[in-house]
Structure 1
Amino acid sequence: MLAGRRGAGLPRLAFRHAGGAAARARTGAGAGGDGVPAQHPPRVLFHFLGRADAAAGGAVRRQPAGRRRPRRGLSRVACALLPLFDLLAKAVARLPQRGLLALGRVLAWLAWPLLRSRRRIARINVDLCFPGIDATARRRLADASVVNTVIGALELLRAWHAPSPALAGLADVTGLEHLRAAKARGQGVLLMCGHFTHTELAVRLLGEALGRSPRVVVRRHNNACLESWFERSRAAVYGPSIGKKDVRGLLRALSGGEAVVYSADQNFTYQNAFVPFFGVPAATLTATPDLVKRANAVLLPFWYRRGDDGRYHVRVEAPWPGWPSGDPVEDAARYMRELETVVRECPEQYLWAHRRFKTRPPGEPPVY
């Protein structure tokens, strides 16, 4: 388990997989929330490619109104270095699993001072969601999740660039029969997941087991050069990605019988409702049932975690009984309850560095 070093604010390297069973034991099965309780990958790479991640609470230089200037110098440097970075990414993708996890922990230790804003957001979220555990355990959990976010950046490179033989034996995948049954009926599948730190690697592992990869919904990067590299990398594995604002593209894919990985657990400012997540009101998208209905698709829960031995456990579950219910708010609440249950299995692998509670109910103060 990760523990902070007094005074320095840096994590020690003597922990296993940034959490694991020890972290789960400290959180307790019922901590936080009383009963009722987003796909782009981990974006730690942006710290090294010239753009902070505002959505996850990263520091962004503010310009006076009307004087916003792009960080062209850093963007040009990042684009010039892309060929070298591409070679490094392919080398990292082929590392043995223990080596990749160890490298991620070392990079997290080296980058710890740069991740101050992410650590702050993660600690606030964990404090809100796990009030039933002591402050030391909450801080360790938050810090472990940040370390896992760095590891997740390397797992993303593995998802994009590892050859199939390098992934053999790396995962247990269950529930493929639900996907095959939907395909036999000619239905598209919305694979509903959450923002864990290794989502795209789980998608790749599911695709390897299934024989064809689901497509992914992603947030487009503002830098055209980086976005081009990201999309080339993704398209080689999953086929063309679908932009998070491309509703028509998502409907076309589902109506055409494709499987698409989708998550709705990030802060939404439109078509939302406040539903509990670990007992905290969270602005959550309510349009998902309508998407499924319009495409005549089926929603299948899609969950995954990394075990203490470094292997991945990926599962597709049967549709939730009674979903959709006809009440979009209740359907959003059902999704968040199901997600909360899964997060409790591996809380250190959830993306706590995202400002999940940025939008607040009327009259409630900001938490960040």
Structure 2
Amino acid sequence: MAVPLRKRIKRSVRSALVRALLWILGLLPLGPALALGGLVGRAGYHLARGTRRLALRSLAVAFPEKPEAEREAIARAMFVHLGRTALELAAIRSYDARLETYVELSPPGLLQEVIARGRGMVFVTGHVGSWELLARRIARAGIPNAVIAKAGGDAGLNRVAERFRAAGGVTTLWRENPDTGRAIIRTFRQGKALGLLIDQDTKVQGVFVPFFGRLAYTPRAAADLAIRFGAPVVVGTIRRRGPRAGDGHLLECVEIPFAADPPDREAEAVRLTAACSAALETAIRRNPAEWVWMHERWKTRPEGENQADGPQAKAVPKSAELSRG
């Protein structure tokens, strides 16, 4: 269906304004950018009431043992974190030359050792910390990589995001592009890393695995691709490493073992997905303010679950096509 002219004009104007704003913000040094981002985040907590309610609802699910005041403090800190992260990315030119020291890798040689095996890498992460900065730092470490991303409704903003990643050595593979499947195969055959985010409830193939003590519908592509191509799996998360916002980040990686030729590929895919999700949960619990709590992570429910526990499962694909060799 063709997009109405009025909507196309609106999107074009919005894209132009965003590009102009990003150009202006890109002139800021890192310190002022972080300070401005903090102010924007604090204002957002008070103004974005719907988003704040969603975040507090998710925090109540994840941390029922915490008092309400503590959950509210996490939500406020999340808004500040998101504001700082956005402005930090906009000001990338002010510190890109020293990215290797601004974002520390831990352990320092793991990614190079994994990619040297020649089977590519499935790099799993989530919307934890500054995930865009994470991808850029991996590329700076000499790891050839691509990321799978969902295209938004505004093609102009999609191009902005794609150009930002490309400038940092990161290739974007849009999930909606029919050529992405072939690009994924090329990525592994060329021994590159493929980045996937698995911490959101989306309309993709998935399985239910535990997340903060409750089953959550989780994308399964990372596990399916790893088993199909025999590619090692690494979970990586990024977090701020100092008391001050400008102290930089720590990018922590851990390899998740799995059976390369399991007797039951379906069971192994579920187990591997659960292990990756558990690694992300550990990182989020350590720094809860650096995750996107406004996302309705437990929206999709398993079929047959008690109605009191939430709505029934949505009609989403759950086939294991990617796991077939």
TM-score range, shorter-chain basis? Answer: 0.7 to 0.9
Residue 128 (structure 1) aligned with residue 61 (structure 2): yes
Q: What corresponds to 2:208 in structure 1? A: 274
CA distance in 1, matches of 2:311, 2:4: 25
2:72 corresponds to which residue? 139
Q: Report the Cα distance in structure 2 between the residues aligned to 1:323 and 1:345, rounded to whole angstroms.
A: 31
Partner of 2:51: 118
Question: Aligned-pair distance for 1:287?
Answer: 3.3
1:300 to 2:223 alignment: no
Of stretches 75-84 and 115-124 in structure 1, the one that deviates more from structure 2 is 75-84
Matched with 1:183 is 115
In the TM superposition, what is the alpha-carbon distance from 1:151 to its structure 2 partner? 1.9
- Structural RMSD (CA): 2.8
**What is the TM-score of this pair, normalised by structure 2?**
0.81
Structure 1 match to 2:163: 232
Could you tell which deviates more after superposition, 128-137 or 69-78? 69-78
Letter in 1 for 2:254: E
Whole-Å Cα distance in 2 between the matches of residues 270 and 78 of structure 1? 29
SS in structure 2 of the partner of residue 257 of structure 1: coil
- What is the distance in 2 between the residues matched to 1:212 and 1:274? 31
1:101 equivalenced with 2:37 (yes/no): no
Higher helix share: 2
Shift of 1:315: 2.1
Displacement of 1:289? 2.1
Map 1:81-96 → 2, pairs under 5 A: 81-92=17-28, 95-96=29-30
The match for 1:345 among 268, 283, 286 is 286
1:312 alignment partner, one of 232, 249, 252: 249
The residue type equivalent to 2:208 in the other structure is F
2-structure distance, mates of 1:272, 1:104:
35
State the shift of 1:284 in Å. Answer: 1.0
How far 1:335 sits from its partner (Å)?
1.8
Where does the alignment leave 5 or more consecutive residues of structure 1 unmatched? Answer: 1-66
* % same residue: 27
Report the equivalent of 2:142. Answer: 211
Report the CA distance shift for 1:241/1:355 in structure 2 as closer, same or farther (over 3 A): same
The answer to whether the 8 A contact 1:190-1:297 is kept is yes
Is the 1:145–1:351 Cα contact (8 Å) retained in structure 2? yes
- Cα deviation 1:21-41 (Å, max 9, x = unaligned): xxxxxxxxxxxxxxxxxxxxx
Q: Deviations over 1:38-72 (max 9, x none)?
A: xxxxxxxxxxxxxxxxxxxxxxxxxxxxx999644
Which residue number in structure 2 is paired with residue 173 of structure 1? 105
The CA deviation string for residues 215-240 of structure 1, in whole angstroms up to 9 with x for no partner, is 22222122122222221222121243
Q: Kindly state the Cα deviation for residue 283 of structure 1 after the two structures are TM-superposed.
A: 0.5
What is the rounded CA distance, in whole Å, between the counterparts of 2:218 and 2:4 in structure 1?
30
SS at match of 2:217: strand
Contact 1:305 1:313 survives alignment (8 Å)? yes
Q: Which runs of 4+ in 1 moved over 6 A?
A: 67-70
How far off its partner does 1:291 sit?
A: 0.8
- Cα distance, 1:351 vs structure 2: 1.3
With CA pairs under 8 Å and 6+ residues apart, which has the higher RCO, 1 or 2? 1
Q: Structure 1 residues 250, 136: CA separation in 2 closer, same or farther (over 3 Å shift)?
A: same
Q: Deviations over 1:177-197 (max 9, x none)?
A: 332223332121111112114
Q: Verify the 8 A CA contact 1:272 1:283 in the aligned structure 2.
A: yes
The whole-number CA distance in structure 2 between the counterparts of 1:187 and 1:201 is 25
| Superposition TM-score, scaled by structure 1 size | 0.72
Pairing 1:201–2:133 present: yes
Q: What amino acid is aligned across from residue 118 of structure 2 in structure 1?
A: G
Alpha-carbon deviation of 1:158? Answer: 4.2
Which of 210-219 and 277-286 deviates more?
Answer: 210-219
The whole-number CA distance in structure 1 between the counterparts of 2:277 and 2:142 is 30
Q: Distance in 2 between matches of 1:123 and 1:273?
A: 25
Partner Cα separation in structure 2 for residue 88 and residue 157 of structure 1: 9
C-alpha displacement of 1:338: 1.7
Q: Output the amino acid matched with 2:13.
A: V
Distance 2:259 2:239 in 1: 26
By how many angstroms is 1:266 displaced?
0.7
Do the aligned partners of 1:203 and 1:213 also contact (CA within 8 Å) in 2?
A: no
Distance between the aligned counterparts of 1:332 and 1:212, measured in 2? Answer: 23
From 4, 7, 14, the equivalent of 1:78 is: 14
Distance 1:197 1:71, change over 3 A: farther
Whole-Å separation in 1 of the counterparts to 2:277 and 2:16 = 42
Q: Is 1:332 aligned to residue 273 of structure 2?
A: yes
> Partner amino acid for 2:281?
E
Query: What CA distance in whole angstroms lies between the structure 2 residues aligned with 1:316 and 1:171?
Result: 13
Provide Cα deviations, 1:262-306, integer angstroms capped at 9, x if missing partner. Answer: 121110344222222111221112332221132332111212211
Structure 1 position 365 matched with structure 2 position 310: yes
User: 1 CA distance for matches of 2:18 and 2:80?
Assistant: 24
Counterpart Cα distance in 2 of 1:84 and 1:323: 48
